[in-house]
Amino acid sequence: MLSRKLQDAINEQIQKELHSEYIYLSIAAYFKSRDLDGIANFFFVQTQEEHFHALKLFNYLIDRGGTVVLKEIPAPPVTFNSAIEAFEKTLEHEQFITKSINDLMDLAIKENDHALVSFLKWYVDEQIEEEATASRLLNRVKLTGESGPGLFMIDSELSKRTFTPPASGE
Ligand code: OFO
């Protein structure tokens, strides 16, 4: 049985993952309104990943006999001044999520919950990829600038991204 403290912390992480989904949906709307449908596609797929991250915690909490308490999700920014700003926000947000996962892991260790420590390792690894992808795309958009063929090449590449749920999770 999970401690009350850990249950609360997992519910907060579920809220943060759903908030991530909401932020990326808003960023997808921004790129779609600029007719950069490929970059919008990247963020639509990202919303599916975030939903998956939330549901994996949701199912785990129930499996451990906890109670899912869904919390309010703050509104994301409505628009962005540039593609660079949208990718900067993405990287900042992923760094925030990494810290949050690390804090949750610290708490699981402190509470001596070995099962949760094992479960959270997936999220620790996932955050390496989340930050690396955001950082790489930010650097590439900075190199190409806000317009011109470079941005269209990125747009074309990101149009190919599809969502594949990781085999380990449900
Ligand atoms: Fe759930 O990793 Fe991004 O936010």
Nearest atom within ligand 1 for CA of residue 127? 2
Written as six digits, the tokens of 45 are 């797929």
Distance 16 CA to ligand 1 centre (A): 8
Residue 167 lies in a domain: no
Give me the phi and psi of 168, to 5 degrees please: -75, -20
Alpha-carbon distance of 94 to 53, in angstroms, equals 13
**CA–centroid distance, residue 53 to ligand 1 (Å):** 7
Q: Ligand 1 center to residue 135 CA distance, Å?
A: 14
Per-residue tokens: 69: 């308490």
- Mutate which of 57, 127, 135 for ligand 1? The one with the most ligand atoms within 8 Å of its CB, which is 127
Instruction: Please indicate, yes or no, if residue 170 is contained in any of the structural domains.
Output: no
Q: Is the dihedral of CA 79, 82, 86, 91 positive or negative?
A: negative
Residue 168 lies in a domain: no
Report the C-alpha gap between 107 and 2 in whole angstroms: 12
Residue 130 scores a pLDDT above 90: yes
CA–CA gap between residue 50 and residue 63 (Å, rounded): 20
Residues spanned by the domain of 150: 4-71+80-158
Which three-class secondary structure state does DSSP give residue 137?
Answer: helix
Asked whether residue 41 is assigned to any structural domain, the reply reads yes
pLDDT at 157: 96
Mean pLDDT score, 12-38: 98
**Tokens linked to 47:** 């919303």
Res 45: pLDDT: 98
Residue with CA nearest ligand 1 atom 3: 94
Task: Name the band, by pLDDT with cuts 50, 70 and 90, for residue 148.
Answer: confident
Q: What is the structure's pLDDT at 165?
A: 83
Kindly report each contact of residues 74-79 with a partner whose C-beta sits within 8 Å and lies 24 or more positions away, as own/partner.
74/19, 74/22, 75/22, 76/19, 76/22, 76/23, 76/25, 76/26, 76/27, 77/23, 77/26, 78/26, 79/30
Rounded to the nearest angstrom, the distance between the alpha carbon of 54 and the centre of ligand 1 is: 9
Q: Write down the mean pLDDT value for the chain.
A: 96
Q: What's the 103 CA to ligand 1 centre distance in angstroms?
A: 15
**Backbone Cα Rg of the chain:** 17
Q: What is the pLDDT of residues 151-164, one digit of tens each?
A: 999 999 999 999 99
User: Which residue of 22, 50, 55 sits with most ligand 1 atoms within 8 Å of its CB, as the best mutation to test the pocket?
Assistant: 50
Mean pLDDT confidence for 139-156: 92
- Give a yes or no: residue 49 inside a domain: yes
Stretch 5-25: mean pLDDT, rounded? Answer: 98
Number of structural domains the chain divides into: 1
Better-scored residue on pLDDT, 108 or 168: 108
Domain annotation covers residue 169: no
* The pLDDT value given to residue 170: 47
- CATH code of the domain covering residue 41: 1.20.1260.10
- Helix 4-33 vs helix 37-63: angle between axes, to the nearest 10 degrees? 170
pTM metric for this prediction = 0.95
Tell me the pLDDT tens digit for each residue of 47-106. 999 999 999 999 999 999 999 999 999 999 999 999 999 999 999 999 999 999 999 999
Query: Is 104 inside any structural domain?
Result: yes
